[in-house]
Amino acid sequence: MRVMRWVAATLLAGTPAAVADNTGTDPAHKYAWGENVGWMNAGPTNQEVTVHHYEGTGGWLSGYAWGENVGWIVMGSPGGGPYANTTSNNWGVNLAADGDLSGYAWGENVGWINFSHAQCDATINTANGEFSGHAWGENIGWLKFKGTVSAHASP
């Protein structure tokens, strides 16, 4: 079983470049794990993470993830993306055409979560919608976006 898969594979495949495909969290695969923060839920009721995807050009993330130990994590500033990540009102997580994630998420209790760190490898497989890899938070360490139940206790 995958720890996290925030988008459904069938919703990403085959989207025309001119049309955005806004997909929500896959309820069966909505968790990420952080050794220092525990489980993060990308699909809490009425606040899920959304992927705004344009086939061939990328997109961005919006919405919220919830961690029982750390509170809310916001995927992007209220103005929407793509995000330049250069000022206090245009930050967020972007999705490149090849599936790589970059930019920043914010948690009031944990600070910035960096998807652009030199050693980060967080991606979305645009063919099947799976998240994988890691992001870095200076205050919380690494977040893992894919794994198996046997790797950690289930939420």
**Cα–Cα nearest to 106, from 75, 82, 129, 127:** 75
State the total domains in the chain: 1
Q: What percent of the chain has pLDDT over 90?
A: 35
Residue-wise pLDDT for 19-52, tens only, equals 345 555 555 666 778 888 888 887 777 777 888 8
Q: What percent of the chain has pLDDT over 70?
A: 74
Asked whether residue 109 carries a pLDDT value surpassing 70, the answer given is yes
Residue with tokens 């910035």: 112
User: Is residue 4 one of the residues assigned to a domain?
Assistant: no
Per the structure, the complete domain to which residue 106 belongs is given by 9-149
User: Is residue 1 one of the residues assigned to a domain?
Assistant: no
- Please state the pTM of the whole predicted model: 0.77
68 CB-side CA count, 13 A = 5
**How far, CA to CA in Å, does 26 sit from each of 32, 49, 146?**
13, 10, 14
More confident residue, 87 or 43: 87
User: Is residue 123 one of the residues assigned to a domain?
Assistant: yes
User: Is residue 57 one of the residues assigned to a domain?
Assistant: yes
**How far, CA to CA in Å, does 53 sit from each of 75, 115, 116?**
14, 17, 19
